[in-house]
Amino acid sequence: MAILKPFRGLRPPVELAAQVASRPYDVLNSEEARLEAEGNPYSLLHIIKPEIDLPVEMDEHSPEVYQKAATNLELFKTKGWLRKEVQDYLYIYAQTMEGRTQYGLVGCASVDDYLNGIIKKHELTRADKEEDRMKHVRITDANMEPVFFAYPAVSEIDRIVADIVESRKPEYDFVANDGFGHHFWLVDDRNTIDKLVGLFAAIPATYVADGHHRTAAAALVGKEKRAANPGYDGTEEFNFFLAVHFPDNQLRIIDYNRVVKDLNGLSSEELLQKLGEDFIVTKIGTEIYKPEALHIFSMYLDGVWHKLTAKPGRYNDSDPIGVLDVTILSALVLDKILGIKDLRTDKRIDFVGGIRGLGELKRRVDSGEMKVAFALYAVSMQQLINIADSGNIMPPKTTWFEPKLRSGLVVHELH
């Protein structure tokens, strides 16, 4: 059973919400964060990317940077840019993109649920990235940013959320500079909160959609705090961490594509010939071609788009990993032909989120930076759930969720 816990949030006043809210720490590098926060002292980037307030040459993982995060959080609280709620609440956070709106429940997830596998994951995490976020959580004593969870849709939860959304004005309602709408409601009725918590308790599992490193870091810091407080009783805030839970039928995963710097010593003609062993190769032309079904790929090479259709017997539709197009591409093209063995460490490959469009693939190849690009058909939520349920792990850079959660609409303190 999954735990959803109300909490006393720390959040901005209505008039500052749009300025405090920022994109997540991991979608911006330091230079981009500096530009985005320029002229905006309220941006949460001053806390989640605190190196922007320090000399450019400073290592973003230095102790001074983490300390700056804690200092800036205290500043935000002192100035009233983040204010503590008077009691425990749940929240509804909705996002609108291209006319579609998805509605998430904001509450705390349980450290125990993560440790016991009720919160299921589909990606491996890297120890260095975990430690970075753990340091940030330790020094701020807070979950500054929520993680993005999915759960099997429950019609009664949908109905309660719809009733609140239709009957009440949102606390926050703004369109960010990326064109996406963000809408936020307070759930302050005790009976409604209890009802939602009870309905959630009947859900067998939740799924990390986006934010595996933040999830791991939050749970591991909670585990550390338990060790430091042997008399803990399980109700302390450090036993929980901040999450937005979306019903699975409202979420959409978009494609996550690949660009490669060279052809591993092959000519373009030799590459096409080798591809013909495992794919039906169809020349499309100069018009951008986007894959329209599973097991069909798009390739951009020498100014021309090609359609690659995997031949029967080259994939296993009965295996949750073998059915994935990232698995097929990795095995039959990246590894077998281009010699890329480890997607995590090989510097010859890069990854491009589908939100940038296939024009970005074309641009990077045409510029000469990359030699060839591959576009994939997007993974489905059901594929993600099947993999998580089976205890398997997706290959790196398989899923891209959009829109991203804005950070700063509510913060969870661990004390």
- Domain check: are 275 and 366 in the same one? yes
On whether residue 331 sits in a domain, the answer given is yes
- Domain check: are 247 and 285 in the same one? no
DSSP string of 260-306, one letter each residue: ES--TT--HHHHHHHHTTTEEEEEEESS-----STTEEEEEETTEEE
Lookup: tokens for 155 = 């019609």
Instruction: Read off the pLDDT band of 166 (50, 70, 90).
Output: very high
Instruction: Read off the pLDDT band of 356 (50, 70, 90).
Output: confident
Least confident of 194-203, 269-278, 349-358: 349-358
Backbone torsions φ then ψ of 94, nearest 5 degrees: -115, 150
Share of the chain above pLDDT 70, in %: 100
The 10s digit of each residue's pLDDT in 26-52 is 989 999 999 999 999 999 999 999 999
On whether residue 390 sits in a domain, the answer given is no
- Domain check: are 168 and 315 in the same one? no
- Domain check: are 233 and 309 in the same one? no
Domain that holds residue 408: 10-252+402-413
User: CA-CA distances (angstroms) from residue 110 to 107, 219, 277?
Assistant: 10, 8, 49
Asked if 105 and 244 count as a contact pair (C-beta separation under 8 A), the reply is yes
In angstroms, the CA 53 to CA 67 distance is: 12
Q: What is the mean pLDDT of residues 313-321?
A: 90
- Domain check: are 242 and 308 in the same one? no
- Domain check: are 261 and 245 in the same one? no
- Domain check: are 351 and 214 in the same one? no
Q: Can you give the pTM of this predicted structure?
A: 0.89
Considering its fold, how many domains does the chain have in total? 2
- Domain check: are 15 and 130 in the same one? yes
The 10s digit of each residue's pLDDT in 55-82 is 999 999 999 999 999 999 999 999 999 9
Lookup: tokens for 262 = 């060279």
Instruction: Read off the pLDDT band of 266 (50, 70, 90).
Output: very high
Asked if 203 and 154 count as a contact pair (C-beta separation under 8 A), the reply is yes
On whether residue 382 sits in a domain, the answer given is no
- Domain check: are 106 and 47 in the same one? yes
On whether residue 319 sits in a domain, the answer given is yes
- Domain check: are 232 and 303 in the same one? no
Q: How do strand 147-151 and strand 240-247 relate by DSSP bridges? A: parallel
Q: How do strand 279-285 and strand 372-375 relate by DSSP bridges? A: unpaired
Asked if 280 and 183 count as a contact pair (C-beta separation under 8 A), the reply is no
Helical axes 127-140 vs 63-78, angle rounded to 10°: 40
Higher pLDDT, 159 or 357: 159
- Domain check: are 43 and 55 in the same one? yes
The 10s digit of each residue's pLDDT in 217-249 is 999 999 999 999 999 999 999 999 999 999 999
> What CATH number is associated with residue 274?
3.30.1760
**225 CB contacts (<8 Å, ≥6 apart)?**
232, 236, 238, 414
